[in-house]
Amino acid sequence: MECPHLSSSVCIAPDSAKFPNGSPSSWCCSVCRSNKSPWVCLTCSSVHCGRYVNGHAKKHYEDAQVPLTNHKKSEKQDKAQHTVCMDCSSYSTYCYRCDDFVVNDTKLGLVQKVREHLQNLENSAFAADRHRKRKLLENSSLNTKLLKVNGSTTAICATGLRNLGNTCFMNAILQSLSNIEQFCCYFKELPAVELRNGKTAGRRTYHTRSQGDNNVSLVEEFRKTLCALWQGSQTAFSPESLFYVVWKIMPNFRGYQQQDAHEFMRYLLDHLHLELQGGFNGVSCSPILQENSTLSASNKCCINGASTVVTAIFGGILQNEVNCLICGTESRKFDPFLDLSLDIPSQFRNKRSKNQENGPVCSLRDCLRSFTDLEELDETELYMCHKCKKKQKSTKKFWIQKLPKVLCLHLKRFHWTAYLRNKVDTYVEFPLRGLDMKCYLLEPENSGPESCLYDLAAVVVHHGSGVGSGHYTAYAAHGGRWFHFNDSTVTLAEEDAVAKAKAYILFYVERRARAAADKL
């Protein structure tokens, strides 16, 4: 929005010596010393934490608005400023009096000058840090090994995602998707879209809550977020623009309460698919897919209309086979899927760790077998037999008719009891390489030797006891190394730590598809 308060509130010099030392994204709040979500006041250059940390930036503004009866008018006017501040991570500007993000500038362009100065400080700090790490690597050949062993060391070139207030569920999914190479590269290669025009044409776009639904693009903000990751230009990126788009088009995720990461992933993929179906930047999605030779038409799985990169990568087909136990009539139905939700077998639900007690450990194969095994439907799920002309007892079995390029497996860790939703905290053993899906195929004889083999690309983990609480993190493989993504913190991880994680969502990449991506 166009803010009328900039001229009276932006008073600091763009290269003010009052700014703290170090990287702006890691500046500490002058009250609580937290370095999460730092905001700088454009009146006095003081730094405070955002409203979703301890809210000292907002309190700084509120305190400045309290009139003191014994002060002179000019002093009161001075106290009434401090209304505009800048995010030290994303460099977006916010006005507390307007209660919205700001897109305009002062006549002298002071806001943009401050923004450029903060960016220069950030780049200088990053360059110095990168030079220091390079020197360490040059001085000792053991440093690479030490980086892998030391879980507290920040990974080189990896970018974290700032937590905007219980948004770890979103961060874990975004980091996982950013490490699925074919999927990520497609979006990063899309042309940029300028959502604004008129007075703000040509300026950097900062999304605001006052924009109408016609002015937002999930594909564009998703593209920007993926481009910001793995560039190595900053230690953490703030996905606030993407989050505000999510608020606008996905009402279920408005607010700052904890959400289910799997539910968010499904909504995200579905809305990306729908937006791509409608065309992007004036270009229909079909030609875009045709230009990418790795996504041939024979490998597309259509869900709700035309195929997109979402269905080309994640899309598979299930065959649902139901047999009437009275007359033997068989009914077959083909259902497209983007992920498979697997129950953890009841006999394993009390075993929380790999070494807790004697006896077999629950494996991913046990969960897959439970999903595909022949099952007799209970009295609440009677099948309407067209031959018997009434509901009858029946059996049901799933076969996989077509495997996707990326197999997404969701372990159903949350289930409803009479009054609340409990978590199944069972450890499930899963392979990091060579998951063989051939035995679950409808026609395994028609598959190639490596078309059914999958290697793990990413894992989403839920820490805590309930879906409405706890914390999400993710592990992902990149460049032959494993990384642990915990919001803005990214560390190198050992394969053993990944294997011991209590997985919630697993992303497996087809070995044949991974080999093709490596050749690009």
Q: Is the dihedral of CA 385, 390, 394, 397 positive or negative?
A: positive
Query: Closest Cα partner for 129 from 165, 160, 154, 104?
Result: 154
DSSP E strands, 127-228: 160-161
For 263-291, b/e burial (b = at least 16 CB within 10 A) is ebbbbbbebbbbbbbeebeeeebbebbee
**For residues 516 and 159, what is the distance between their CA atoms, to the nearest angstrom?**
26
φ, ψ of residue 213 to 5 degrees: the values are -65, -25
**Is the CB of residue 237 less than 8 Å from the CB of residue 89?**
yes
Biggest CA–CA distance in the chain, Å, is: 94
Q: Is 286 helix (H, G, I), strand (E, B) or coil?
A: helix
Catalytic residues: 168, 471
DSSP character string of 224-244: HHHHHTTS-S-SEE--HHHHH
Query: Closest Cα partner for 236 from 223, 225, 251, 247?
Result: 225
**For residues 392 and 378, what is the distance between their CA atoms, to the nearest angstrom?**
10
φ, ψ of residue 90 to 5 degrees: the values are -100, -10
